[in-house]
Amino acid sequence: MHRRASSDVLAAALRDASRALSGFSATLALAEDPLRLALPTLPCPETAAPSRDLLGAWAALYLQAELEEAGVLAAVEALVAQRHTLQLDDRAAAARLDRLAWTARDYPSHDERTALFAQLFGFGVTPLRLDFPQRLLRLATAVVRADLERQRHGNRPGPGLISRSAWQAAAQDLLAAVAAAPAGSLLNWARRIHAHLLQAFELLGDAGLMRQLGSRSAWDSLGRLLPEDGAARRDAAARRGAAGQQLLRGLADMPGAEVPDAMAVQAALRWLAASGLPVPTASLPLPAAPPSLPDTAFARSSSLSRAAIERARSWA
C-alpha cells in the first residue's frame, strides 16, 4: 500500500502535465506571419501576462527538469543504447526497446535537455539561469507567510499589506520570466519531453521487463536499475518537481487574489520541505509528511548510465 501511495505522487503530476499540454494550440498566428515561420512575438513582461496554457507548459518543463536531475530518462536511454547486449527473455520487451531506439531522434537528446533546463531553470553543471531557484524560493516562502498572517488575523479578508505585496511581487517576478520566453518553442519542448517521459515509464512498466528484473512496478524496475546510494536526493527531486509544477501553474491567479489559495499553500509547503529549506512557522502546523517516492537513487548522468548498463548486463 505504501508503494502504491508513493507512486501516485508522481503519477498525478504527470497526469496534470498531460492535461495542461493537451489544451494548448500549437499554431501561433500563422496569418500574421508571411513566411509561415510561426515565430511568436516576444511580449513585454511589464504589459503582457502569459496565458494559462503557457504557464502549464512552463510548469511541466519544471517537473521534467527535476526528473532529469533524478536520472529517469538517462537510465532508460542507457538501456536503449545497449539493447543488443542485453539478455532479454521477453520478445515484446525487446521490441519495445527497438521502437524507442527508432524514435529517439523525435525527442530532445540528453545534451539538448541539459542545455534547455540550464537556460530555463539553472539546472546542471553549467547553469545559465541562476536566479530561477531564488525566485521560486521567494514565491514559496511568501505564499506560506501570507497564509500564516491570514490565519493570525482570523476573520479579516486577507493578509496584511506587506505580506500580500511580498507574495504578489514574487508571483509577478516569475510571470515576467515566463512572459519573456518563446511561447511556441516552450510548448514544443514540453510536449516532446513529456511524450519521451511517458514512453520511458511505459518501458519500465512493461510486463516482460518486470519479470526479467523481478520487479512489481515501473518504480520498482527503475530502482533495480539505479545505484542504491542517493535515493533520498532522487526522491526529493521528484517530490520537488511535483510540488513546483502545481505552484507554478497557480501563478495566473496570484496577482489579483486577496489570499493564496489552499492548493498553492500546500504546494509551497511541499516544495520547501522537499528542497530541505526552512519553512516559515507560526500557528500553522505543517501537513503530514508527503509520502516518499519509491526507493530509487540519484546520480549524475554519466555514472547513472554506466550503472544501468552494468546492472542490465547481469540479467542472465
pLDDT tens digits, one per residue of 220-239 = 777 788 887 767 787 888 88
Cell matching residue 73: 530518462
User: With bands split at pLDDT 50, 70 and 90, how would you rate the model's confidence at 42?
Assistant: very low
Nearest to 147 by CA among 16, 55, 272, 289: 272
> Is 193:110 a contact under the CB 8 Å cutoff?
no
CB 246, CB 263: distance < 8 Å? yes
DSSP annotation of 41 = P
Interval 122-175: pLDDT, tens: 886 554 555 888 899 999 998 998 888 877 766 555 556 667 778 888 888 899
The pLDDT value recorded for residue 126 is 55
Q: Which residue has the higher pLDDT, 9 or 144?
A: 144
Cβ neighbours of residue 48 under 8 Å, at least 6 residues apart?
179
Q: What is the Cα–Cα distance from 186 to 194, expressed in whole angstroms?
A: 12
pLDDT, residue 268, reads: 93
Predicted confidence at residue 302, as pLDDT, reads: 35
- Overall residue count recorded for the chain in this entry: 316
Confidence of residue 52 (pLDDT cuts 50, 70, 90): confident
- Contacts (Cβ under 8 Å, ≥6 apart) of 82: 309, 312, 313
Instruction: Please give the pLDDT value at position 125.
Output: 59
Question: What whole-number percentage of the chain has pLDDT above 70?
Answer: 72
Are the CB atoms for 231 and 296 separated by under 8 Å? yes
pLDDT at 195: 92
Q: What is the 3-state secondary structure (H, E, C) of 61-89?
A: HHHHHHHHHHCHHHHHHHHHHCHHHCCCC
Cβ atoms of residues 215 and 3 within 8 Å:
no
Which pLDDT score, from 0 to 100, does residue 290 have? 43
Alpha-carbon gap, residue 208 to 213, rounded angstroms:
9
Pick from 237, 196, 209, 235: which is nearest to 308 by CA? 209
Q: Name which of 89-103, 251-265, 286-300 the model is least confident about.
A: 286-300
pLDDT(295) > 90: no
Joined grid coordinates for residue 82: 545497449
Site of grid cell 545559465: 128
Can you tell me whether residue 186 is helix, strand or coil?
helix
Residue 152, CA distances (Å) to 138, 149, 282, 299, 306 in order: 21, 5, 9, 43, 53
pLDDT value of residue 38: 43
Integer Cα distance of 48 and 179 in angstroms: 7
The grid coordinates listed for 107 are: 525527442
3-state class of 181 per DSSP? coil
Give the pLDDT confidence score for residue 128 in this predicted structure. Answer: 53
Residue 5 has pLDDT above 70, yes or no: no
Can you give 109-144 as a three-state secondary structure string? CHHHHHHHHHHHHCCCCCCCCCHHHHHHHHHHHHHH
Q: What is the mean pLDDT of residues 208-213?
A: 87
For residue 244, pLDDT beyond 80 = yes
Question: 110 exposed, middle or buried (CB, 10 Å; 0-12, 13-18, 19+)?
Answer: middle
User: In this prediction, what percent of the chain has a pLDDT beyond 90?
Assistant: 23
Cell of 297: 537513487
Least confident of 6-20, 44-58, 264-278: 44-58
**Where is mean pLDDT largest: 39-48, 92-101, 251-260?**
92-101
Residue 159: what pLDDT? 54
